[in-house]
Amino acid sequence: MSEFALELNNVTKRFGKTEIIRGVNLAVRKGERVAVIGPNGAGKSTLFNLISGRFEPSGGDIRLNGENVAGMRPYQINRRGLARSFQITNIFPRLSVFENLRAAALYASGQKYSFWRPLSALTELNDRTEALMASIELKRRRDVAATLLTYSEQRALEIGITIAGGAEVILLDEPTAGMSHSETDRFVHLIRNVTVGKTLLTVEHDMSVVFGLADRIAVLVYGEVIAFDAPERVRADARVREAYLGAVLEAQEATA
C-alpha cells in the first residue's frame, strides 16, 4: 500500500497543439488537505478533470492509493474511492434533496444495480442519508426538488453528493464560488466538518479559505506546479509571489 492517497507523475494534457497541463508532479498523503491555487487559466479545473476521469491525460500516470487510474472512466475511478464536486453546480435537478443524496450513496453502499430490493427496505442507507442531510444543513428541504433550492443550498447539496459515497479522496472544485463572505465562512466550516479524516484537494480562489483550510498549498501556473508546501512557506516563496500570490495578496490587503 502506498503512503500517498494520490500521486501524479509527470501528467500532461494537450488539447490539439495547446499543452494545458505540462508535466505535473504531486503527491498527496493520506488525510492531508491540499489547496490548489493559481491564476485563471492555469489548468486547475483541467487537473481535477484528469484526476477524476472526465478527461484522459495525454501522458503520465495518476495513482490512487498506488493504482494507476489514468484513462479510466469516471465511474471506475469513483468506485476506487475518489469523489469530486463541480465548479458549476452538477446535481440531479428533478430528484428531491433526499433522493439526490441517496442516489449518490447507492453504489458505494453495495446496492450497485440491484432491482430485487425496494429502496425503502435499505434502512441503514436511509438512516445514513438522513444523517448526511442533517450535516449539510438541508434537513428542512428534504423533499424539495433540487432545482428549486437556493444557490447556496445547491452548493451544499453538491458537496453532499460528493461525500455521500464515503470516498476517501475528495476533490472540491471551487466549493465557495459565487458565495457571499458570511456564506463562505459558514460553508468552509461545513466542509471542514464533513471531510474529517479524508484526503481533500480543493481548488479555491479565496485566500482566506485557502489559508484556513489547507495543510499544504500547490501553486499551479501555466500547467506546472511551481510550489507545493506549507501555507507559510508558500506565502514567502519568491517565485510564487512573483507569479501569482503577490498580486492577489496586494489586492486583498487593499480591499481589507
Partner 1 sequence: MTDSALRPLYFKPRNGVRIVVWSAFAALLLLLPLVARSSFAQTLLCATGIAAIACMSYNMLLGQAGMLSFGHAVYTGLATFVAVHAMNRVGAGWWLPMWAIPLVGGLAGLAFGVVIGYVTTRKAGTPFAMITLGVGELVFAGALMFPEFFGGESGVSANRTAGAGWLKDVGITFGPQLQVYYLIAIYLFLCSAAMYAFTLTPVGRIANAVRDNAERAEFVGYDTRWVRYLVVMASSFFAGIAGGLTAINVEVATADLLYSVRSGQYLLFTFLGGVGFFFGPLIGSVLLVFALVVLSELTKAWQLYVGIVFLIMVVYAPGGFAALLMLNLRRIKYGEWRKMRWPYAGMAFFGAIALWGFAAIVEMLYQAQDAAVTGSALSVAGIKLDSATVSSWVLAMAVLMVGAFGFEVWRRRFKRVWDDGEERIAEAIKKAEAAIV
Residues that bind partner 1 (CB under 8 A): 52, 73-75, 78-79, 83-84, 86, 90-96, 99, 102-108, 111-120, 122, 139-145, 161, 164-165
Q: Which residue has the cell 485563471?
A: 40
Cβ pair 58, 50 in contact under 8 A: no
Nearer to partner 1 (CB atom), residue 137 or residue 224: 137
CB of 189 to partner 1, least distance (A): 19
Extract the C-alpha cell encoding 238.
Answer: 519568491
Nearer to partner 1 (CB atom), residue 68 or residue 76: 76
Pairing of β 216-221 and β 199-203: unpaired
CB of 61 to partner 1, least distance (A): 21
Nearer to partner 1 (CB atom), residue 44 or residue 141: 141
CB of 213 to partner 1, least distance (A): 22
Cα separation, 140 vs 41, whole angstroms: 38
CB of 107 to partner 1, least distance (A): 3
Cα separation, 27 vs 3, whole angstroms: 9
CB of 111 to partner 1, least distance (A): 4
Cα separation, 12 vs 23, whole angstroms: 5
CB of 164 to partner 1, least distance (A): 7
Nearer to partner 1 (CB atom), residue 65 or residue 78: 78
Nearer to partner 1 (CB atom), residue 92 or residue 222: 92
Cα separation, 105 vs 98, whole angstroms: 11
Cβ pair 235, 248 in contact under 8 A: no
Cβ pair 197, 166 in contact under 8 A: no
Nearer to partner 1 (CB atom), residue 16 or residue 113: 113
End-to-end distance of the chain based on CA atoms, in angstroms?
Answer: 46
